[in-house]
Structure formats: C-alpha cells, structure tokens
Chains A and B, each alone.
Chain A
C-alpha cells in the first residue's frame, strides 16, 4: 500500500492484543509508507490508530507480525533508540511538552538526546520557530502559550533532528476547528518542505481527505479508501 519507491514503514501482518489477549486491538495489519508520503489513519476512537502509531514508533511491541521503520526494527531496544533519535518525530494530541522549560528548551530536547552541537542546534531551532511563526515566543515558558502555540512547539520538537518519518496522533484533537485547521496545514507544509513522511492518526474526515492517502481503521483492521 505505497505509491512511492523507498519505504520508510513496512508492516506485515501486525497484530496486537491487550489484557492477556482478551482485547484485540490490531489484526493482521499490513502497511507500507513511502518516503515523503502523507498517510492518514482515519477511524473512530478506539479503532487502533494510536496503537499502530505506537508500534511503528517502537513505543510498544506487536504480538505477531514484522515491522521495519527506516530499515530498522522498532522492536529492538538499541534500534528503537536510534530510530527515535534520528529518524522519527512524534506529535501527540496533548502536546506533551515539558512544563517549566521554554519553547526553545523544549524544541532542543531531541538534539540533547542525539548529542548534537550547541551552535548547530541553535540554528535549527531558529529555523524551525521561524517556519511556524513562534520566533517572538522562543523564550517563553510553554505554560504561557495558547493551545495552538503549544502544538506548533511540539511540531518543531518533532522535526528538530530532521526525521524521515513523523508520527502524528490526533494533533488537532484538542484544538478548536480554526486552530486545528491551521495546525494541520502547517504540519503538511512543513512535511513537504522537510521531505518527511507523515502518518497521521485522525478521526476528522476533512484532514484525512487532505492527505496523500487515506487508510481506514475499523475494529483493528486497515483498509485503503
């Protein structure tokens, strides 16, 4: 299920259950995502979108099936850390920023994990906040920001290490319609500019339709629309 050459995500027959197999969340999911592709995982709450994103991002491990992300196995601890540092960016519904840190400090966290140089990091932060229109807020603490500004900060953080794949889990879910639209537009624009593939979990049809592909999640199964 990919229209591009190089694959950044390759999932084969992935299944996941919780509560000792009693709750079946994903069933034999197969998915390919090409480089630079923007794919929507569209479905209702509880359909398994977030779980699939977590498996792709190595935050959780599947019960069955195989996964390859940017050529690495997200189920392996060492590969997982490399993946998160170099190849993956996450954006969550609730921004998950670190309170008491400034916008700049939050954006720098992935660079800190990757051990990137101070000068290089500073230049990258300036570039990113400029792109999302947050230059004037760079020294502000995140608790002083609006919901939209926080999500823009989270997007910058996700893009800090120039990842190849961005995993966005309902990034507009906690925002009003207008701000959500703006954030989605920004996310898509930045992904295109940075040539990042995006897997977007959303329950909103309008955002799914604006993506390159829509994959519908229903009862833990994936189908292309």
Chain B
C-alpha cells in the first residue's frame, strides 16, 4: 500500500462527502473557466475589430472608453499624409437598439475598409458600399436576428434603412454588427466629422516610433498605440479582466469552504483512526500530508469535473440564439494554468485547519475511551 492508496481509501469511504468537495471545486472551476473564456473571447474579438490589418491605433487621449473618443476628419487626413503610413482606416462605433435586440453595434467605415474586403459576401457587393443613401450592410448573424433580407428594409434605432448587402465575418461582434458608410454613421450618431479610432497600417513596422512621435507632436489631443500596447493598457479590458478573475475567485472561495467542510468532517469522523496512524509511526507532518493529499485529490477531481462542465457550458452558450453570436469563448493556456493553480491553492488552503487539527490529535486522548 502506498500513501496514495491510503488517500484514495479515505476518500472512497465517504464518497458523498468527497463528491460534495469535488462539486464545490468543480463549480468554481466551471464558473471561472466560463467567465474568463467569454471575457477573453470578447476582448479578443474587440481587439481584432480594432487591429484589422493595422499596426497602430490612434484615438483621443484620456478618454475612458473608445465609444467617447473623437478623432477629427482633419486629424485623419494628417495621419494619412504621414510618410510612414501606408493606409489609415477611420472607424466610428455606435450602439443602437432594434426590435427585440436591445444592443446592436454599428460600425461607420469607409468603402475600402479591410472588413468589407475580407468579408464572405452572401448578398450584394462591397463595391456598392456607400453608393446609395440610407443603405446599411449587415453581418450574417445580424441579418438573422434582425430578420432582414437583401433588398428589404430594417429598422435600426429611429431610422429605417435598406439592406444593401450581407456578408459573413469571422469576428462575432462584426458578424452581429450593422455597417454604415462613415458619413452616414456620423450623421446618425450626431458625431459629424468624427471617428472613434483610426487603424493605421505602416509601410514599415520598424518606423512605429517615428510615426507615434509625429502624430502626437502634430496632434497632442490624440494618442497612438501599438495594437499590443493598446490591449494591455485599455481600461475597459483591464476592468473586464479584473471583474472576471474577481468573480471566479469568489466562486472558488465557496469551493474552498466546501473543501474545508469536507476535510473537517472527514478528520472529525476518524480521530481514533488518525491516532492509530500516529501510534504506528506517522509523524505530525505525515498526518498533515495525508489530509492535504486528500484535499489535492478532491481539487484534481474538481478540476476534471469543472473543465468538463465549463467547456459544455461554453459550447451551449456559443450556440444559443439569444447571444446573437456575440459569445466567442477563447480558452487561453494562461487561463487554464491560472484556474489549475487557483483550484489547488483553494483546496490546500481549505485543508490547512483540518490538517493542523489532525496533526495535533493526541493518540492517548483519542484511544483512552475504547
């Protein structure tokens, strides 16, 4: 018999109790995985919207959210005129509601925008984009949930528009979005002459620093950030990430209490047995290791259950029509490692008191009353 088989025997003896501990950690893992994967996926989608075929993002300095950023037409023109710039694509974000859909993202773009070039066109052509007034183009998912057809009309916000084209886009936000010519979007959202952000593609990426200096010197009111730099510093991403980890860790906190309860009941239920182990030569450290080992096995079980449950949940959410394709979960290796480490720490932390209690059991006391 090895140490592990003693651990396994102890857990098997009280299956229900052990399963409650496993379930506690499992729910924590599933919650954390689902929340983080959804948030990471959402951030990833948003990053891809911004960084489509570009190296730098230019937006208004000191704004709390890109939706409030204004880069003027003159600034866009000056950026385009810089030697380092191969292409600059202004993009205006807007949120509207439509019947049965409280949140529909609108994108004001120009006709040569890479999104239109990359799109898998289901109806209409990108060459017609912006040529007919009061026309919008829809992502394929948006066409589905807005029940819109090519050539028909669609009500968005307070306006009625003709559907000029439908195209499939790999990005969930864009596929569920409404695309308007930039001037039409500016008029619709009362943001005349403004773009939220400008995605800039450089002729030579090595000239990034020179580009940044030139833009910020000419227009102190805007900031130019490399895509990676933007992702790391954008407040909304930080808040989303922090919230996701905080909620996940709270879920784990509950799981940890479950493990503590399981291990405590387990120790109280076999005080005499632990005394016998001490009599047989187990040191305090070995007894504590036994309890920590049991908690670790519970955590490992919880991880297996939690990852299974979490992935199932993500698969279900990803296919739910209510989410309009906005959920594109992304399970990153760092998140997986973070969850595993958190689960193990939670289980071990939950076992600290039971292990201390078990290690300090006095054999004579425990065995005195036969």
- A contact residues vs B (CB 8 Å cutoff): 50, 54, 57, 59-60, 77, 81, 84-86, 90, 92-94, 96-101, 104-105, 108-110, 112-114, 118, 157, 161
Which A residues are in CB contact (< 8 Å) with B272? 96
Q: A105 CA to B10 CA in the complex, in Å?
A: 13
Which B residues are in CB contact (< 8 Å) with A92? 367, 370
Whether B281 and A114, one on each chain, are in contact in the complex, defined by CB atoms closer than 8 angstroms, is yes
**A-B pairs with beta carbons under 8 Å apart, 25 shown:** A59-B279, A60-B364, A77-B284, A81-B281, A84-B281, A94-B370, A96-B272, A96-B367, A98-B9, A98-B277, A99-B273, A101-B1, A101-B6, A101-B9, A105-B6, A105-B9, A108-B1, A109-B6, A109-B276, A109-B277, A110-B281, A112-B1, A112-B2, A113-B286, A157-B280
* Interface flag for B190 (CB, 8 Å): no
Q: A60 CA to B284 CA in the complex, in Å?
A: 15
* Interface flag for B278 (CB, 8 Å): yes
- CB-based nearest A residue for B6: A112
Which B residues are in CB contact (< 8 Å) with A110? 280-281
Which A residues are in CB contact (< 8 Å) with B1? 101, 104-105, 108-109, 112
Which A residues are in CB contact (< 8 Å) with B362? 59-60
- CB-based nearest A residue for B14: A100
Q: A201 CA to B195 CA in the complex, in Å?
A: 93
* Interface flag for B282 (CB, 8 Å): yes
Whether A93 and B370, one on each chain, are in contact in the complex, defined by CB atoms closer than 8 angstroms, is yes
A225 CB, min distance to chain B CBs, angstroms: 27
Which B residues are in CB contact (< 8 Å) with A109? 1, 6, 276-277, 280
A147 CB, min distance to chain B CBs, angstroms: 14
* Interface flag for B283 (CB, 8 Å): yes
Of the candidates B5, B276, B280, B368, the one whose C-beta lies within 8 Å of that of A105 is B5
Q: Per-residue CB proximity of B355-370 to A under 8 Å, as 1/0?
A: 0000000111001101
Whether B279 and A90, one on each chain, are in contact in the complex, defined by CB atoms closer than 8 angstroms, is yes
- CB-based nearest B residue for A78: B283
Q: Which of B330-370 contact A (CB under 8 A)?
A: 362-364, 367-368, 370
* Interface flag for B158 (CB, 8 Å): no
Which A residues are in CB contact (< 8 Å) with B131? none
Which B residues are in CB contact (< 8 Å) with A81? 281, 283
Which B residues are in CB contact (< 8 Å) with A161? 281
Whether B6 and A100, one on each chain, are in contact in the complex, defined by CB atoms closer than 8 angstroms, is no
Q: Which of B267-300 contact A (CB under 8 A)?
A: 272-273, 276-284, 286
Whether B370 and A112, one on each chain, are in contact in the complex, defined by CB atoms closer than 8 angstroms, is no
Which A residues are in CB contact (< 8 Å) with B279? 57, 59, 84, 90, 96
- B contact residues vs A (CB 8 Å cutoff): 1-3, 5-6, 9, 12-13, 272-273, 276-284, 286, 362-364, 367-368, 370
A105 CB, min distance to chain B CBs, angstroms: 4
Q: A86-B281, A105-B1, A108-B1 are in contact. List 16 more A-B contacts (CB 8 A).
A: A57-B279, A59-B279, A59-B367, A77-B284, A81-B281, A84-B279, A100-B9, A105-B9, A109-B276, A110-B281, A112-B1, A112-B2, A113-B281, A113-B283, A113-B286, A157-B280
Q: A77 CA to B282 CA in the complex, in Å?
A: 12
Which B residues are in CB contact (< 8 Å) with A97? 276
Which B residues are in CB contact (< 8 Å) with A101? 1, 6, 9
Given the contacts A59-B364, A104-B1, A113 and B280 also touching, CB distance less than 8 Å: yes
- CB-based nearest A residue for B3: A112
Q: A56 CA to B2 CA in the complex, in Å?
A: 29
- CB-based nearest B residue for A121: B1
Which B residues are in CB contact (< 8 Å) with A57? 279
Of the candidates B2, B276, B286, B363, the one whose C-beta lies within 8 Å of that of A98 is B276
Q: A67 CA to B102 CA in the complex, in Å?
A: 82
Of the candidates A93, A100, A157, the one whose C-beta lies within 8 Å of that of B12 is A100
B44 CB, min distance to chain A CBs, angstroms: 49
Query: Which of A97, A105, A109 is the most central at the interface, judged by chain B CB atoms within 10 Å of its CB?
Result: A109
Whether B12 and A113, one on each chain, are in contact in the complex, defined by CB atoms closer than 8 angstroms, is no
Q: A161 CA to B282 CA in the complex, in Å?
A: 13
A47 CB, min distance to chain B CBs, angstroms: 15
- CB-based nearest A residue for B366: A59
- CB-based nearest B residue for A57: B279
B104 CB, min distance to chain A CBs, angstroms: 61
Q: A97 CA to B280 CA in the complex, in Å?
A: 11
Q: A57 CA to B1 CA in the complex, in Å?
A: 25
Q: A104 CA to B277 CA in the complex, in Å?
A: 15
Which B residues are in CB contact (< 8 Å) with A93? 370
Which A residues are in CB contact (< 8 Å) with B5? 105
Which A residues are in CB contact (< 8 Å) with B9? 98, 100-101, 105
Given the contacts A59-B363, A112-B3, A112-B6, A100 and B281 also touching, CB distance less than 8 Å: no
Query: Which of B6, B279, B280, B362 is the most central at the interface, judged by chain A CB atoms within 10 Å of its CB?
Result: B280
